[in-house]
Structure 1
Amino acid sequence: MTALALSDLLGLPVYDSESGKLGRVREVALVPQEDPIHIAALVVRTPEGDRLVAPNLLRNVNGGVYTKARTADLPSYSSGEGMLLLERDLLDQQIIDVHGRKVVRVNDVELSLDLEAEYPSRGMHLRIAFVDAGARGAIRRLLKGIIPRHTLASWLQRIPARNIPWEFVNLIETDPARRVRLKISSDRVSRLHPADIADIIEELSPAERDAVFQTLDEEVAAETLEEIDPKLQVSIVNAMESERAADIVEEMDPDAAADLLADLTDERSDAILKEMEPEERQDVEELLEFEENTAAGRMTTDYMALAPTARVHDAVEMLKKFEGGLESMSTIYLVGENEKLLGAVPLAKIIVAASEKPLSELTVEPLITCSPEADEHEVAEIFDKYNLLTLPVIDEAGVLTGVITADDVISMLRAQL
């Protein structure tokens, strides 16, 4: 295996099977929809025009590219449709390092040149090994042709490498049509924690941000959107079609969705609400009626409630089917007629109790609540005083109208810093 920097390969002379000069390496092409790792061809500029040289036609790369080819036998290169050209599409571009969970700039690309050991007659395999996001790649390109190659190579060895394995690289393509042609997705990004995705999104330009967001599925996009700064949320949502925005908002916690829509213009908010499913729309519209800086404005309607006659096995079944956020799963509330709050049962008690145990025997005392009109400062004090994970919000008649979760309080406090 021979390591080869893209910047060293570009511009090298290319020789045919009889050591006659064909031309010079102009580009290196990858066809992601066929093979996302191995190089499909070198684009060689010849007197007869640009030609494609497949890696299996290579004999050696040492100060030049020696091939088993003749110009007449090489296919012509035209538009590069469906091809990822490494110099054009990677060098100096931003990519997402999904292992380091950050956005980095590509200074060079490290290639690996392998001889087919089992069948030497098949020639070479050329694949992408790393992208160089450090000073080594930048200096190599800056001093190429100025300092003798061997001297430069010796200098570069003293500079710490900052290589990102190709399997941890997520490309950013702002052209939707080209993104489809090249099969560029954000599958690797989608596996990150939403908070990490949010940090990455916030580092990108508006066009790059929109490009990445368009490739996330609705659930991941919703969780990520909840972690993003409110001003940036508005920018991202305004760049979407109303139908796509509605699909994402439907997956958000109702309180987070209401906060987002409240920051949009009335016209934009109405357009998104119009595209939402009736049930989700009603939940959000009810929350939009409350002042944002009150308990009602911070609460979610995604909570678990059962009748006081329910037993532990009923609670377990509800937990299995609950589609709300994990932060709302710490407590099950007992409600009577007209949804009047009667008690709260912590999840910890349910886990260790017998399946036939009545939930009414597992409630905690005292039952801590707040009114819809309570301000943010009062809510934060209650959470701190009683060390709560959730806080039920009840109206004057004692009816459970929603629940505030600890993560909402943390977000509220962060916004005030």
Structure 2
Amino acid sequence: MDEKRNGPSLALLLGTPVTEPKGSLFGRLKDIAVATGADAGRIAGLVLKTKKGLELVPATEVRSTPSGALELRSTDAVQPLQGDENFIFLKQDLLDQQIIDVHGRKVVRVNDVDLQWFSRDEKQDLRVREVEVGLRGAVRRLLLGVIPKHALDTFSRKFPARVIPWEFVDMIEVDPARRVKLKIEHERLAQLHPSDIADILEDLAPAEREAILTTLDEEVAAEALEEVEPKLQKALVESLDSETAAGIVEEMDPGAAADLLAELPEERSEAILEEMGAEERQEVEELLEFREDSAAGRMTTAYVQVPVQATVADGIEALRGFEGDPESITELYLVDEKEVLIGVVPLARMILAKPETRLEVLTEPRFISCQVHAHQNFVAELFDKYNLRALPVLDDDGRLVGVVQADHVIAFLRDKI
């Protein structure tokens, strides 16, 4: 069973003398290497500056002494640091750098790193406990070298601590080659709400935004991109190569994708469209033909329609086959053989009915719709007047061509403020 005890902070440990078993100076602590990939977070070794250069020794081959120095158990385990290892270095890569606090859903700057000694198999080992992002770590760094380390440790603890447990730390690596090498993935970040990811992206520098966006799953990246304000959306997409941008845009709501591409230079927009799949490209190109301030310019083509003679069981089957965001569906649309809209069925009403029930008998007695060229101000008025959750959009022949959803109207109204 491991026996844990608090260790020093990284700032206080750096520069510590490291002696040989007989007591002679071997080197000084230069950095601490942390593993990535499957062993992410485990301390791979202590980086020592010796007469031979930079060398690496496992933490289990070092013990802390009452004097504050570090002592090697033997020099046999010391190996030259090659420079091509897949390590994160706490001083080089973490101190003074921005990271993502996944638990707090925000971007913070690292002031120090708290470490922890523990006993394992009759040896001491070291692990990263938490990252300091508050005043305590800043004071410690500021006064380092001004007062003795033991006094500085005591003094710094008078200040409030703001820490992030290591398991909630998400690294930001802007170098694509090193990102792949270190196998940095943002799995915990991807589990946040898209709005939280959007807020985090807005707090980052351009290169860091691109680094995060390109390592997220395309579907997650698309959901987050839809939540970002339009100017930043444009800047983010323009920073990506056309193939990467197309993969993300394909996963966006067609209406949102069309709005985004409409803001890009024509040459750039065309390049992204060419990289998209045929079906997704056709949907977006059709929407690009409409004026942005029209109902068609605000609508999405991601909705569920079924034949007018369909039953509740048919409607449920259609919902199961829907490839868009299921949370966006609030109603089903009944159409005839010419795709003319015949009726609207609220989703809640359908779920409560028996499977064999004809959907036609569950339709709203009077449904509200609008024409493709209706101005967005008129669309907003309809949502307000009739307390709508979705509004079907029809062409001149009454055919259903799209749906304006409540969040599309909210986005339009927010832009007007």
Using structure 2 for the length normalisation, give the TM-score.
0.96
CA contact (8 A) 2:61 2:77 kept: no
Identity fraction in percent: 52
Shift of the 73–296 alpha-carbon distance from structure 1 to 2, 3 Å rule, reads: closer
Deviates more, 1:272-281 or 1:41-50: 41-50
Partner of 1:287: 287
CA contact (8 A) 2:12 2:149 kept: no
Give the 3-state SS of the residue equivalent to 1:338 in structure 2: coil
Give the 3-state SS of the residue equivalent to 2:197 in structure 1: helix
CA contact (8 A) 1:110 1:131 kept: yes
CA contact (8 A) 1:328 1:390 kept: no
Partner of 1:132: 132
Q: Which amino acid aligns with 1:88?
A: Q
Distance in 1 separating the partners of 2:246 and 2:301? 18
Distance in 2 separating the partners of 1:209 and 1:316? 39
Structure 1 residues 151-166: aligned runs within 5 Å: 151-166=151-166
Deviations 1:210-266 (A, max 9, x none): 111110111111111111111111111112121121111111111001001100111
**In the TM superposition, what is the alpha-carbon distance from 1:326 to its structure 2 partner?**
3.2
**In the TM superposition, what is the alpha-carbon distance from 1:305 to its structure 2 partner?**
0.6
Deviates more, 1:21-30 or 1:141-150: 141-150
**In the TM superposition, what is the alpha-carbon distance from 1:81 to its structure 2 partner?**
3.2
Partner of 1:256: 256
Partner of 1:5: 9
CA contact (8 A) 2:300 2:402 kept: yes
Deviates more, 1:271-280 or 1:151-160: 151-160
Give the 3-state SS of the residue equivalent to 1:259 in structure 2: helix
Distance in 1 separating the partners of 2:327 and 2:36? 39
Give the 3-state SS of the residue equivalent to 2:297 in structure 1: helix
CA contact (8 A) 1:12 1:65 kept: yes
Give the 3-state SS of the residue equivalent to 1:11 in structure 2: coil
CA contact (8 A) 1:327 1:405 kept: no
Give the 3-state SS of the residue equivalent to 2:240 in structure 1: coil
Distance in 2 separating the partners of 1:3 and 1:378? 65
**In the TM superposition, what is the alpha-carbon distance from 1:41 to its structure 2 partner?**
1.2
Partner of 2:54: 50
Distance in 1 separating the partners of 2:265 and 2:32? 47
Partner of 1:331: 331
- Runs of 5+ in structure 2 lacking a partner? none
Partner of 1:67: 72
Give the 3-state SS of the residue equivalent to 2:342 in structure 1: strand
**In the TM superposition, what is the alpha-carbon distance from 1:365 to its structure 2 partner?**
2.3
Q: Which amino acid aligns with 2:51?
A: P
Distance in 1 separating the partners of 2:378 and 2:107? 39
Partner of 2:19: 15
CA contact (8 A) 2:218 2:251 kept: yes
Among 77, 82, 90, which residue is 2:81 paired with?
Answer: 77
Distance in 2 separating the partners of 1:113 and 1:411? 52
Shift of the 336–98 alpha-carbon distance from structure 1 to 2, 3 Å rule, reads: same
Deviations 1:308-356 (A, max 9, x none): 1100011111111111123531100011131111110000101110111
Q: Which amino acid aligns with 1:413?
A: L
Distance in 2 separating the partners of 1:133 and 1:73? 34
Deviations 1:349-401 (A, max 9, x none): 01110111100000012210111122122111111111111001112221111
CA contact (8 A) 1:10 1:25 kept: yes
Distance in 2 separating the partners of 1:269 and 1:50? 49
Shift of the 410–327 alpha-carbon distance from structure 1 to 2, 3 Å rule, reads: farther
Distance in 2 separating the partners of 1:161 and 1:80? 35
CA contact (8 A) 1:389 1:406 kept: yes
Q: How many residues are treated as equivalent by the alignment?
A: 412
Shift of the 240–66 alpha-carbon distance from structure 1 to 2, 3 Å rule, reads: same
Structure 1 residues 220-299: aligned runs within 5 Å: 220-299=220-299
Give the 3-state SS of the residue equivalent to 1:337 in structure 2: coil
Structure 1 residues 319-398: aligned runs within 5 Å: 319-398=319-398
Q: Which amino acid aligns with 1:174?
A: V
Distance in 1 separating the partners of 2:65 and 2:170? 29
Deviations 1:10-53 (A, max 9, x none): 01111111122112111111121362122111111122322222
Shift of the 327–291 alpha-carbon distance from structure 1 to 2, 3 Å rule, reads: farther
**In the TM superposition, what is the alpha-carbon distance from 1:73 to its structure 2 partner?**
5.6
**In the TM superposition, what is the alpha-carbon distance from 1:161 to its structure 2 partner?**
1.1
- Runs of 5+ in structure 1 lacking a partner? none
Among 26, 30, 33, which residue is 1:29 paired with?
Answer: 33
Among 98, 105, 125, which residue is 2:102 paired with?
Answer: 98
Distance in 2 separating the partners of 1:73 and 1:43? 12
Q: Which amino acid aligns with 2:72?
A: T
Distance in 2 separating the partners of 1:150 and 1:83? 30
Partner of 2:115: 111
Deviates more, 1:191-200 or 1:41-50: 41-50
CA contact (8 A) 2:58 2:77 kept: no
Q: Which amino acid aligns with 1:268?
A: R
CA contact (8 A) 2:308 2:334 kept: yes
Displacement over 4 Å in runs of 4+: none
Q: Which amino acid aligns with 1:26?
A: K
Q: Which amino acid aligns with 2:73?
A: K
**In the TM superposition, what is the alpha-carbon distance from 1:270 to its structure 2 partner?**
0.7
CA contact (8 A) 1:327 1:406 kept: no
Give the 3-state SS of the residue equivalent to 2:74 in structure 1: coil
Q: Which amino acid aligns with 1:66?
A: E
Shift of the 19–34 alpha-carbon distance from structure 1 to 2, 3 Å rule, reads: farther
CA contact (8 A) 2:299 2:404 kept: yes
